[in-house]
Amino acid sequence: MPRPGFFSRPFFEDKSRAFWLLQAAGWSGYLLLRTVSNISLEWIIYAIVESILGYCITLLLSTLYGLYRKLPRIPGILLTLATLGLATAVYAILSAFAFSFIRMQEPGISLTVVAGTVFINFTVLAGWSALYFAINFYLIVEEQVDQMQALENQASSAQLAMLRYQLNPHFLFNTLNSISTLVLLKQTERANVMLSRLSSFLRYTLANEPTAHVTLAQEVETLKLYLEIEKMRFDARLRTHFDIDPRCAKARLPSLLLQPLVENAIKYAVTPKEEGADITVSARLTGDRVQIAVSDTGPGLIEAKPRPTLSTGVGLANIRERLAQAFGPDHRFETQSNPGEGFSVEIEIPFQLEEPNREAA
C-alpha cells in the first residue's frame, strides 16, 4: 500500500507524532548543512551543540506558541514577536559562548561574536516559527473543511431522508378502505391477502435506509409487490409489463425511486379510463449507462387536465432532487407526453455496482 504523502491528512492525524518527526527531520537537516559548510572536528562539534541548543529552544517556543494561539489576535501576535526576539537573543548568546569555548583559547562572551551569530540564529528561529504557524494554520483549515463536509453530508442525508419519507397517503388510505370494504363484504380471504401484501410493502419501505441504494432487480420486485396490491383494486383495468435487461439487474439506484412514477401512472392513466391502461417499466444497458423508462397508455397531458404533480403531492421535482442528490449532474431525467396516447418518464443514470451510501435492508 502506498505510503501517505508528507503533507497529506493522514500524516497529521497524530499531531504529536507529526511534530516530533518534523522536529527531528528539520534539525537533522540543519545540522547536516552546517556540518558540510566546514568539515573540521571543531566545527562539527560546534554545529552539533548549536543544533541541540536550537532543538531545545524551539521545543520551548512550541509550548509558548501553543498558549499564545488561545489569546486574542493582537496580544498573541505581540507576545509571539517578543518571544521570538528573546529566544533569538538567548540562542545567540549560548551559540556565541559555545563558539568561544570550542574555537577560542580564552572562552567568553563578546559582543562581536554575539552580533555575528544573531542573524543566522534569528533566520533559523523565524523560519521555524513561520513553519510552525503555517502547519498549524493548514491543520485548522483542514479541520474546518472536514467539519463542513461532515455538515454537508448530514444535510444531504437529511434531505434525502425527507424526500424518501414523503410517501403517498392516498395509496395507504385507498388500500385500507379497500380492505375495509372486503371485510364488510365478508371476502376475508382477499382482505387477508391484500393486508399481507400491504404489510410486506410497508415493511420494505420502513426497513430500508432512506439514503440507501438498491439494485434494479430489488426495485422491480418492490414495484411488483406494490402493483399486486393495486391490481386487487383495479383488476383487469391495470395491465403491467416489465422489460428489464438482465445485464443491468445489479445496477444501483435510490430506493423506491420508480414507485412514485408508477403510482402517478395509475392515478392519471388507469383511474380516468373505464378500460384502464397499460403501464410498462423497461430498463436497458447502453455502454456504461442505464436507461429506465416508465410509460403508460393513458390520456397523456391534456391542457384541460394537466398532470402537475405526482400522486405523492411533491411532484416530479421530488424525483429530480433525489437523482441530483444521488448522482449529481451525471444523470438525465425527461418526460414525454402524447395527448390521448400516453405519458412516459425516461431516466438515465451511470451503471454502478457498489453502494455509495449504505446497504439497503
pLDDT of 206: 66
pLDDT of 156: 54
Alpha helices (H) in the chain, listed in sequence order? 15-36, 41-68, 73-103, 111-164, 169-184, 188-207, 216-234, 259-265, 316-327
pLDDT of 312: 40
Assigned CATH topology for domain 165-350: Heat Shock Protein 90 (3.30.565)
Contacts of 76 (CB under 8 A, 6+ apart): 68, 69, 70
Residues 324/330, Cβ–Cβ less than 8 Å: no
Domain ranges of the chain: 12-160, 165-350
**Per-residue pLDDT tens digits for 218-231:** 889 888 888 888 88
DSSP for 149-161?
Answer: HHHHHHHHHHHHH
pLDDT of 44: 84
pLDDT of 106: 67
pLDDT of 304: 39
pLDDT of 195: 85
Cell output for 145: 473543511
pLDDT of 192: 86
- How far is it, in rounded angstroms, from Cα 291 to Cα 297? 20
Cell output for 6: 508528507
Cell output for 8: 497529506
- % of the chain residues with pLDDT over 70: 81
- Nearest to residue 307, comparing CAs of 337, 347, 346? 337
- % of the chain residues with pLDDT over 90: 23
Residue 126, Cα to own-chain centre: how many angstroms? 39
DSSP letter at 2?
P
Residues 164/255, Cβ–Cβ less than 8 Å: yes
Contacts of 269 (CB under 8 A, 6+ apart): 277, 279, 296, 297, 298, 299, 342, 343
Residue that is written with C-alpha cell 529552544 in the block: 57
pLDDT of 177: 81
**Per-residue pLDDT tens digits for 98-157:** 877 776 666 666 677 778 788 888 999 999 999 999 988 888 888 888 778 766 666 555
Residues lower than pLDDT 70 in the chain? 1-10, 103-110, 150-171, 204-211, 301-315, 355-361
pLDDT of 292: 95
Contacts of 118 (CB under 8 A, 6+ apart): 88, 89, 92
**What is the widest separation between alpha-carbon atoms in the chain?**
118
